[in-house]
């Protein structure tokens, strides 16, 4: 049965975030909505208590599904969730709920204006960034500048982990991906997967809109800001190179 909204939540060693009640927040919000929904949590080979915690949480929740995968990284994890989603719209939402699930209302509103991709943005007027270290903010600004210069002009925040796609649009997009096709990472590297998705959306002339959201910084030890930023820059250069070589034309 076709449903209105699928929420995809990738999970990698999320025991600490789980204990903060992030999934309870998602469940409590969605249960109050009038539209039909499902939540697909994709466990990315977690080595802590995440899988057990998820199994216990989802056991008595009929709108929730758990997919257990070997560790491949966020891009592969999200793609697996997309392949299982049944919703007319598909939302990517981070496990830590740095952007609260309630912000989806802003994104869904924009679909009424014909937008097929609606992304949460921390960089445009009206957005709120809370508790973010100054150096992280500067690094984000620098990364976004590179993205706009090399790959996508006009999108101010490609990396916010809160994005809504019309189902047919995201299927067209992922059929064209190259950099993150069949990727497998041994660490917690998230990559510039979002950049490739949005580049392809623009290339396919799919209507994209940025929406200001409320976002709060969540402390994590899994990300190496300097190392990961350099790796992401290399991925951006790959997107640019693949575009030059015509790999996205087939």
- Where do the domains of the chain lie? 3-244
User: Does the pLDDT at position 225 exceed 70?
Assistant: no
DSSP 8-state code for residue 156: S
pTM equals 0.92
Residues with Cβ < 8 Å from 213, sequence gap 6 or more? 99, 103, 106, 120, 121, 122, 127, 128, 160, 162
pLDDT above 90 (res 139):
no
DSSP 241: H
Rounded CA separation 64/86 (Å): 12
- Thinking of the domain 3-244, which architecture would CATH place it in? Alpha-Beta Complex (3.90)
| Mean pLDDT confidence for 89-104 | 96
Mean pLDDT of 201-222: 87
Per-residue model confidence (pLDDT) at position 224? 66
Q: How confident is the model at residue 133 (pLDDT cuts 50, 70, 90)?
A: low
């Amino acid at each position: 049965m076709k449903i209105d909204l699928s929420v995809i939540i990738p999970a990698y060693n999320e025991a600490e975030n789980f204990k903060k009640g992030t999934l309870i927040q998602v469940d409590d919000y969605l249960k109050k909505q009038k539209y039909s929904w499902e939540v697909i949590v994709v466990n990315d080979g977690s080595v802590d208590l995440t899988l057990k915690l998820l199994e216990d949480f989802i056991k008595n929740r009929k709108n929730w599904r758990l997919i257990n995968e070997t560790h491949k990284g966020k891009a592969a994890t999200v793609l697996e969730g997309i392949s299982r989603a049944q919703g007319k719209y598909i939302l990517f939402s981070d496990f830590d709920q740095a952007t609260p699930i309630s912000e989806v209302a802003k994104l869904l509103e924009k679909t009424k204006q014909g937008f097929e991709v609606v992304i949460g943005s921390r960089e445009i007027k009206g957005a709120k960034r809370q508790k973010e270290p100054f150096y992280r903010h500067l690094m984000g600004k620098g990364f976004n500048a590179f993205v706009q210069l090399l790959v996508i002009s006009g999108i101010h925040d490609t990396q916010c982990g809160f994005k809504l796609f019309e189902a047919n649009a995201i299927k067209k997009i992922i059929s064209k991906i190259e950099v993150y096709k069949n990727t497998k990472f041994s660490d917690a590297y998230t990559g510039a997967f979002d950049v490739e998705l949005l580049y392809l959306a623009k290339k396919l002339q799919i209507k994209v809109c940025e929406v200001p959201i409320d976002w709060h910084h969540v402390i994590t030890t899994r990300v190496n800001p300097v190392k990961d930023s350099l790796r992401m820059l290399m991925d951006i250069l790959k997107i640019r190179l693949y575009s030059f070589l015509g790999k996205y034309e087939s």
